[in-house]
Every structure is written in structure tokens, then in C-alpha cells.
Amino acid sequence: MAALEPQTWSRRGVLLGAGALAACGPAQRTAGKAGAAGGHVNVYTARHYDADKQIYALFKERTGIEVRALASNGDQLIERLRAEGEATEADLVVTVDAGVLWRLTEAGLLQGVTSPTLEAAAPARFHDPQGRWWAFSKRYRVIVYKKGAVDPAELASMDALTTPRFARQICARTSSNTYNLSMLAARIERDGRAKALAWARAVRGNFARDPQGSDTDQIKAVAAGECQAAIVNHYYFLRLKASGDAAERAIADEVGVVFPDQAGAGAHVNISGAGVSTYAKRKAAAVQLLEFFFTPEAQRAFQELNEEFPVRPDAELIPTLAEFGRFREEQVAFDALGRNQPEAAKVFEEAGWK
């Protein structure tokens, strides 16, 4: 088994940690002392973000508990946990995408946990009823468009991408992309298979090119005029906008962002979340780390360092997220994103969306 490595601070994380510690209240400092005995907690994670490393380091600073993380993608983590069974060293499992969280629970790889801290911080919709997973951040599937070529009012709905107005003007990722699968899975749950197929087939008919590349590549293609619109996660636009590379900031300046379906279902939302491994050997520390993800400073770190929206309803948005304004989000149950993903893959294939 590969060794689990402790996470380390970056310079940006040192600054975040100092600020967060200064801002925490007496109750939080007391909670930190409870874990001062030290030790470690093992995390299997499908997230590869500096934000998480900063939060793990801050957790150690506050509690004395070292976080040892093993990173892989969601499918690989599921297979590893299955193979390891009771011998696993995983205490907390962290991943992106509601579909992955659903598969983890269906495979019996997460155990139910709860606490007053978790119940108070995460609305019921953002955790499994049995406490097997808890979502700590949100990401939205939005439409980016070419400024000057498109009036954002023309993209008020995802359905607009199916119209003759955007013939040969849509860029997209492949249908195997997890975020596309979850988006279509939600549409299947909301509208039924037939309507979902009609939507996917019509969008496919408007492609400017075959599906390819990442979300960032779709934004670059729109900025370059290869197409006029594309579906991406919101934070890819913000990363380009805040980039230290002037060329990337210039790309962001060429595009606008629409949170679609505000008069209908609401913008599609996906989540990042975590759950305690069924065979966790350090369960108390795993729950403590899970609770830490919902502290005000961690919720802010997910925003500042990864441009994700917080789950806590009382969390104040950082300016770059607040600039998007108020919007409605889709209310499809997150387990449907997992249950319907196999069907979503079949629908995409039938639609010719490669």
C-alpha cells in the first residue's frame, strides 16, 4: 500500500491560517484544545486542490492531529476501498460529485455519523439522511458566452442551446465527463428520459466541433470565437479571471457567464462532500476533521482558494462569488445524480454526444 503523506502549507496557506486563527471565536479555540493530544487521521481524497491542503494544515495547527492524504480519482478510490475492505487505513473519504458519493454509500463504504455541529451547519438537502456523506461546498454548471456575439438574454435557459440560433455555435466536453453525466442525470430525474434525450440530441446537433478538452478549454474556445457558448463549472471562469497570467485574464475578459434557468428549474448544482469510512480506525478524528470543514474559516477557504460556494447558509460570500448576484439553484435530490448516471451515459450515447 502506498504511504499516506501529510499535507504541507504553501505561503498562501500560512497567510490564511494566521487570519483564520485570529478570527476564530472562544468556542472554536476550546474545541481545538480537545484534540491537542495529536495523532493522525488518514484521508482518501479525490480532490487535488491547494485549498484542501491549507485546511488540513490549519486543522493540525488547531487540533494537533496530522492529516495524511492519499489522492486518486473517485472511481479509483471506490475500487481501492472495496479491495481493502476491513483492512483499509482510510478514516475519511473526500470526493467531488454527488454521483460518486452515492456510489460510495451504495457500496457500503461509508458509515453514518452525525453531530450537533454537522446538523447545524449543513441543510438537510446537503447530507445523506443517514449521515453517510456531508456536502461542504457547491459548484454550479453555467453557460459562458462570447461577449459581443451573444446577448446573455438569449441564454436564459439550458434549452436555448438547442435552438437554431446556436447552430454550429456550441462547444462541449465529452459525455463521459462526470459533471456532464450528473447534469444530465438531474435532467432525467426532473423531466424524464425522453425529454432529456431530445435535449442532448439537439445540443449535439449544434456543436461547432466534436467534444474535447476540459472546462477551461471550452472557455478558451469561446473566447477565441471557435464557438459562441459552452457549459462549464463556474469556478473555471473565476480561475482564469484571477490568474497571474495576463493572457488568461484576457481570455476571461472575452466571455460572460449566465446562471441559467432562473425562471424554471434553477441552475444545476453539484457538490463536494465527505464521509467516514465504514472501517475507520480513527473515527473520532475523522468526525472532527469533517466538522472542521464546516467552520467559518474552512468555508471561507473553500471560497478564497478554490472559488467554490459554501454550503453553510450563514457563510458570507467573498466578493468574486457575490458578484454573480442572487440566483436559484436546481432542487433535484443529490442521490438522483448517482442513480441516474448509468442512464445518462446511455442517453448521451444515443444522442451521438461522444
CB 216 within 8 A of CB 240: yes
- pLDDT over threshold 50, residue 163: yes
Q: Which of 3.40.190.10, 3.30.160.40, 1.10.287.3240, 3.40.50.150 is the CATH number of 5-138+269-322?
A: 3.40.190.10
Nearest Cα residue to 136 out of 292, 314, 29: 292
Structure confidence at residue 35 as a pLDDT band (50, 70, 90): very low
CB 274 within 8 A of CB 254: no
Whole-number average pLDDT of the chain: 90
Kindly report the backbone phi and psi dihedral angles of residue 70, in degrees, each rounded to the nearest multiple of 5, phi listed first.
-115, 120
pLDDT the model gives residue 15: 35
CA 332-205-266 angle, to 5 degrees, is: 20
pLDDT the model gives residue 51: 85
Encode pLDDT of 336-347 as tens digits.
999 999 999 999
Which of 28-42, 214-228, 289-303 has the weakest average pLDDT? Answer: 28-42
Structure confidence at residue 74 as a pLDDT band (50, 70, 90): confident
Residues 219 and 141: their CA atoms lie apart, in Å, by 13
Enumerate the β-bridge partners of residue 92: 43, 276
CB 218 within 8 A of CB 172: yes
Percent of the chain with pLDDT over 90: 87
Structure confidence at residue 1 as a pLDDT band (50, 70, 90): very low
Q: What homologous superfamily does CATH list for 140-267+330-351?
A: Periplasmic binding protein-like II (3.40.190.10)
| Other residues' Cβ atoms within 10 Å of the Cβ of residue 330 | 19
Query: What is the average per-residue pLDDT within 213-221?
Result: 97
Residues 121 and 116: their CA atoms lie apart, in Å, by 9
Domain 140-267+330-351 in the same topology as domain 5-138+269-322: yes
Structure confidence at residue 25 as a pLDDT band (50, 70, 90): very low
CB 190 within 8 A of CB 265: yes
Encode pLDDT of 150-159 as tens digits.
999 999 999 9
Give domain limits for the chain.
5-138+269-322, 140-267+330-351
Q: What is the 3-state secondary structure (H, E, C) of 159-226?
A: HHHHCHHHCCCEECCCCCCHHHHHHHHHHHHHHCHHHHHHHHHHHHHCECCCCCCCHHHHHHHHHCCC
Q: 278 or 31: whose pLDDT is higher? A: 278
pLDDT the model gives residue 49: 86
Structure confidence at residue 31 as a pLDDT band (50, 70, 90): very low
Encode pLDDT of 274-303 as tens digits.
999 999 999 999 999 999 999 999 999 999
pLDDT the model gives residue 354: 92
pTM above 0.85, yes or no: yes
Which of 10-14, 108-112, 185-189 has the weakest average pLDDT? Answer: 10-14
